[in-house]
Amino acid sequence: MKNYKAKIYITLRENILDVQGKAVEHALHSLEFNNFSDVRIGKYVELIVLAQNDGQAEEMVKSACDKLIANPIIEDYTVEIIE
């Protein structure tokens, strides 16, 4: 068994309105950052997982994402495993 680091990028699905992103975009424009658009805000999770190999680590992390870390109804996620 070995420790693997996992990086998880969670984004709202394309067709879901990102209210928080819109708020940040308006705030940017009011600070005269007018060249910014399409702001979308997601989550970035780092964790350590103990597994036999990187395949098993990825499987465990995906299972945890489906059950707890992400909300598969409105969010997509990408998992990256690092030794």
Under rule CB under 8 A, which residues in 60-79 are in contact with its own copies? 60, 63-64, 67-69
Helix (H) or strand (E) holding 21: helix 19-30
CA separation for the pair 36, 75 (Å, rounded): 23
Under rule CB under 8 A, which residues in 38-57 are in contact with its own copies? 38-51
**Cα dihedral 15/19/22/24 (nearest 10):** -130
Nearer to its own copies, 22 or 73 (CB): 22
**Which parts of this chain interact with its own copies (CB under 8 A)?**
9-11, 21, 24-25, 27-28, 31, 33, 35-51, 60, 63-64, 67-69
